[in-house]
A and B are shown apart, each in its own frame.
Chain A
Amino acid sequence: MKIKKIIAAFLVIVLSTSMMVGCSGEKKKEVNLYTWADYVPADVIEGFEKETGIKVNYSNFETNEEMLAKLENSKGGDYDLVLASDYIIKIAGEEGLLSELDKSKIPNYSNIDSIYQGFFYDSENKYTVPYAPGIPLIVYNPEEVTCEITGYESLWDPSLADSVGIMDTERVINGIALKTLGESFNTEDLDAIQKAGDKLLELAPNIRILSQDQTQDYLVSGEISVAFLFTSQVALALQANPNLKVVYPKEGLGFGVDALFIPSKAPNSENAQAFLNYILKGEVGAKISTQTYYLCPNKASYEFLPEEFQKSLVISAEDIPEGEFIQDVSAEATQLHNKIYTEFKAKLN
């Protein structure tokens, strides 16, 4: 008899927990945001919810490709706002998964600094709002480094043996080798790419750390003396150790933008436009940039940025035209990129 009581209690628990699940009958005012965790700061989300009464459902993905797979599966539905990287937005656009912004509903759209617009993934500025533009830069510890660092070529300097950290991103690393040979990131010339691959193999002895995240931690803790970092990592490193020096590589800057778009079949696109309008406000833009440590694309936010961020988060218009985006290249070029990067990684061990 005791067993029966246990089974009965157990079934009650299962039933009651499953009832809690199906409990959201009424149509709430909500908006479904889809991006990396904590990429949109909590105080921004709370501020929006308080001001408009619209609940934000914040779901996460880890890679752009994952996001694209889910968006293709739902045919542009389920999610109202997606924040992802430039190259994947281009691919999504080609697949018809983007919807045009209704700028009449986003009066703050004019706050966007125009130097961050008109890029390859949205040349007519119809679909996206830039959120986190960035330039990967070289950061080094002047106390540990004896040679002069002026650009990507300096990373090959023999005095830096086993003390350089770089990010584990194929196109970016192959790209800097291409740049030292005077080529573009997106050249489809297979000879040039192969030459870059050979050059990369010479870089291998200098590389101590190859990491996707937290590369700046190694620089700050002293395990490496030079690092090639993404913008947010640069700002975090400088915050931890203000004595580090930043170098804008003379061969040419890479450029990347994470931007927001509304998928084609978004269930709550009105609320999505409202959210875009909210984050384009001056004070909110400043809150975002000071917490994500990326460049600030919002003109109206510049006056709200605290002193110490003015230097690192605001760059001049002259820097951008020199910046080159990494874009998709032909299938053979992509395959060759894969091959030389794999060889490079193999040489590291």
Chain B
Amino acid sequence: MKNKTRLPHLYLALLMIIMYLPIVVVIIYSFNVSKQSTIWGGWTINWYKEVFRDSSLIEALKNSLVLGLLSCSIAGLIGTIGAVGMVKATYKSKGLVEYISTLPIMIPEIILGMVFMVFFSLLRLPFGMITLVIGHASFCIPYVFMMVKARLVGIDKSYIEAAKDLGATEVRAFLDITLPLISPAIVSGMLLAFAMSLDDVVISIFVTGAKTNTLPIKIYTQLKTGITPKINALSTLMLLGTLILVILSNVIGKRKRV
């Protein structure tokens, strides 16, 4: 029964408007002359100049990006290996172990944050990038774990067995057969982990040190003094950066296929 009306298109358009309108408003208001975000004053690019002049903002951005990269890489590694191991395992408490490994994203962040803070003090770890990475990697691992595991279950075991029949070792079979097959899941898991790490405020506040500030902390704590369109400008720049990356990866991907 084919759909002859324009209704699906209308529905899609409406959905996209609802999803993207807030982002469009943020971008437009980054050019706002007025400091307050509720009144339109006129066009200006001053806020963009302010972003580059504000060295603490750039440093916080740098910290967040480095932190995101490190934690999603660690999460990618541990999550993948964990998923591969879990799929092969057959012992009875397997279900329980899986449940425990997804706990970090189910526990409320503030509890996790406080627990990390006390735990790291007990270990006398210096608060800063190290504790931030450990904290972030902990809640990033479940994302990668779940995505890779879901993908692994769908892979036909006969590929691995065929490779082994032809003489490949366990490691070789993993590297040459399994890994390429699950790489889309690993990449999307890592991207999700990166986004979650970049976004995190609560845990970061508790485990950061006196010398490391991350971007979400800086923006969130600016609420007391008032959020200026400088943040809109920064968000627009980050959006632009992401867009460029996505376009680049698409172009590279198309080239490879040819």
Name, among B55, B133, B221, the residue most crowded by chain A CB atoms within 10 Å (CB to CB). Answer: B221
Q: How far is the CB of B117 from chain A (nearest CB, A)?
A: 6
Kindly identify which residue among B36, B38, B175, B213 contacts A59, using a CB–CB cutoff of 8 Å.
Answer: B213
Query: Which chain A residue has the least Cβ–Cβ distance from B208?
Result: A59
Stretch from B15-23, B101-109, B222-230 contacting the other chain = B222-230
Contact (Cβ within 8 A) B222 A3: no
User: CB-CB contacts of A29-53 with B at 8 A, as 1s and 0s?
Assistant: 0101010111100100100000000
Kindly identify which residue among A10, A32, A37, A221 contacts B225, using a CB–CB cutoff of 8 Å.
Answer: A37
User: CB-CB contacts of A300-314 with B at 8 A, as 1s and 0s?
Assistant: 000000000000000
Count residues of chain B with CB under 8 A from any CB of chain A.
45
Q: How far is the CA of A252 from the CA of B127 in the complex (A)?
A: 45
Contact (Cβ within 8 A) B222 A73: no
Contact (Cβ within 8 A) B66 A17: yes
Q: How far is the CA of A213 from the CA of B221 in the complex (A)?
A: 11
Interface positions of B from 199 to 239, Cβ below 8 Å from A: 205-206, 208-213, 217-227
User: CB-CB contacts of B146-187 with A at 8 A, as 1s and 0s?
Assistant: 000000000000000000000000000001100110000000
Q: How far is the CB of B219 from chain A (nearest CB, A)?
A: 7
Contact (Cβ within 8 A) B221 A13: no
Residues of B within 8 A of A20 (CB): 66
Contact (Cβ within 8 A) B179 A220: no
Residues of B within 8 A of A18 (CB): 70, 133
Contact (Cβ within 8 A) A10 B175: no
Contact (Cβ within 8 A) B226 A37: no
Contact (Cβ within 8 A) A217 B225: no
Residues of B within 8 A of A87 (CB): none
Query: Which chain B residue has the least Cβ–Cβ distance from A55?
Result: B211
Query: Which chain B residue has the least Cβ–Cβ distance from A1?
Result: B176
Q: How far is the CA of A10 from the CA of B218 in the complex (A)?
A: 30
Query: What are 13 A-B contacts defined by CB distance under 8 Å?
Result: A17-B70, A18-B70, A32-B211, A36-B221, A38-B225, A42-B54, A62-B205, A70-B206, A73-B117, A221-B39, A232-B225, A236-B35, A240-B36
Residues of chain B having any CB pair with chain A under 8 Å: 34-39, 54-56, 66, 69-70, 73-74, 114, 117-118, 121, 127, 129-130, 133, 175-176, 179-180, 205-206, 208-213, 217-227
Among all A-B residue pairs, the 8 with the closest Cβ atoms:
A32-B210, A60-B221, A37-B222, A37-B221, A36-B224, A217-B38, A57-B211, A21-B129
